[in-house]
Copies of this chain bind each other. A is one copy, B any other.
Amino acid sequence: MAKLGMGVVGVGTMGRQHAQNIRRLTPQAQLLAIADVALKRAQQVASELEIEHAYNNVEALVERRDIQAVVVATPAKFHGATMRVCAQAGKDIFCEKPFTLTIEEADELLEVIGRAGVRVQVGHVRRYDPPNVNAKKRIEAGEIGDPVIFKSLARDPAPPPVSYMASGVNGMFFQDSTVHEFDLGRWLMNDEIAEIHAYGGVLVFPEIAQFNDIDSALVNMKFSRGTLGAVENYMQSGYGYDVRTEIVGSKGTIITGYLQRTAEVVLTATGAKTDVVDHFLVRFADGYLNEMCDFVQTILADRQPNVDAFDGRQAVAVAAAAERSYREERVVTVANRARSSRAA
């Protein structure tokens, strides 16, 4: 049986998670090397996971003949440059979301990827969350009739460190965070988001204003076939990491997501208490494993990725429209493009 040789570029929180998951995909995949601009961090993760090779640049990693596929988990601003190197070296790519921070870069990359003929999967992990996977199947089976309203909310427990905002490598709230829900809406409704109205605000984290960013967003959406959507994104829930989605149809509704982490209820004089999911790595633990498993199987089977670069590009376009709507205080049309046969 074929075994996919893999490398991971960027081992912050997400890159490290992907690296651990690849190690569980035995015997289909083998993680051969790790690269990070911080060589020490690359070496440390390599040591913990018993990976032989560690580099401080992607160029060195892609020189390895035994590596066929690369996971790109750098900050978003460097996704483009890193993917170029990988694509030119003929490597298939798993890229963390967002695909890019701008539509322009996304379109250029589609060209590069198309010319190089490599496969690209974008890490829109919500599509691999088991309840969402089930929801998609039920919708396609007609269990809720015609899906007509898509709703989703995503709340982080607390804002990221100010240094994260200040680094300028991750994009605005819409591009960095809400983009997850935009992709999920496209997928579950099987339609493009055509039009957007977004409210945003600096409601709880005043430090964010200096970065021209927001901590709260409510987005109203119209899909191209006339159905509707609404997304909430919030930076400081105060209680945990909370992502819930509803797909409302003409004959029923599906709700996905959960609040309780541990299956324990404590009953005392103050009432009933449970804990709450506290981190996205907990909430989407299965999703992260499943998406990597799907990527490995896709590449080994020489198939087209289920969430490809075009999907990545469209989600970036929705995020851009949301930002413009917020800034210009008006309804904005999304700069969608048609899927070309060549673009990955």
Residue numbers in B under 8 Å from A17 (CB-CB): none
Whether the Cβ atoms of A238 and B250 lie closer than 8 Å is: yes
Report the Cα distance A330→B332, complex, angstroms: 10
> CB-defined interface of A263-276 with B at 8 Å, one 1/0 digit per residue?
11111111111111
Judged by DSSP, the binding face of A is mixed
Whether the Cβ atoms of A216 and B239 lie closer than 8 Å is: no
Report the Cα distance A265→B234, complex, angstroms: 19
> CB-defined interface of A178-203 with B at 8 Å, one 1/0 digit per residue?
00000000000000000001110101
Partner of A148, one of B48, B135, B204: B204
Partner of A268, one of B48, B203, B222, B239: B239
Whether the Cβ atoms of A272 and B249 lie closer than 8 Å is: no
Partner of A23, one of B26, B148, B232, B263: B26
Q: Is A331 an interface residue (CB 8 A)?
A: yes
Q: Is A49 an interface residue (CB 8 A)?
A: yes
Report the Cα distance A149→B153, complex, angstroms: 12
- Within the complex, the shortest CB–CB distance from A176 to chain B, in Å, comes to 19
Closest B residue, CB atoms, query A225: B203
Partner of A274, one of B48, B149, B272: B272
Q: Is A207 an interface residue (CB 8 A)?
A: no
Copies in the complex: 4
Q: Is A312 an interface residue (CB 8 A)?
A: no
Q: Given A234-B149, A238-B250, are A271 and B268 neighbors across the interface (CB < 8 Å)?
A: no
Q: Given A267-B259, A272-B259, are A145 and B238 neighbors across the interface (CB < 8 Å)?
A: yes
Q: Is A262 an interface residue (CB 8 A)?
A: yes
Residue numbers in B under 8 Å from A260 (CB-CB): 272
Report the Cα distance A218→B251, complex, angstroms: 19
- Within the complex, the shortest CB–CB distance from A321 to chain B, in Å, comes to 14
Q: Is A236 an interface residue (CB 8 A)?
A: yes
Closest B residue, CB atoms, query A249: B238
Q: Is A257 an interface residue (CB 8 A)?
A: yes
Report the Cα distance A237→B221, complex, angstroms: 20
Q: Given A143-B266, A239-B253, A271-B274, are A232 and B230 neighbors across the interface (CB < 8 Å)?
A: yes
Report the Cα distance A298→B220, complex, angstroms: 40
Residue numbers in B under 8 Å from A329 (CB-CB): 331
Q: Is A105 an interface residue (CB 8 A)?
A: no
Q: Is A280 an interface residue (CB 8 A)?
A: no
> CB-defined interface of A1-42 with B at 8 Å, one 1/0 digit per residue?
000000000000000000000011011000000000000000
> CB-defined interface of A148-168 with B at 8 Å, one 1/0 digit per residue?
110101010000000000000
Residue numbers in B under 8 Å from A265 (CB-CB): 254-256, 259
Residue numbers in B under 8 Å from A219 (CB-CB): 220
- What are 17 of the A-B contact pairs (CB < 8 Å)? A131-B263, A146-B203, A149-B203, A149-B216, A197-B220, A199-B220, A199-B222, A218-B228, A237-B248, A238-B251, A238-B269, A254-B265, A254-B266, A255-B265, A267-B276, A271-B276, A273-B273
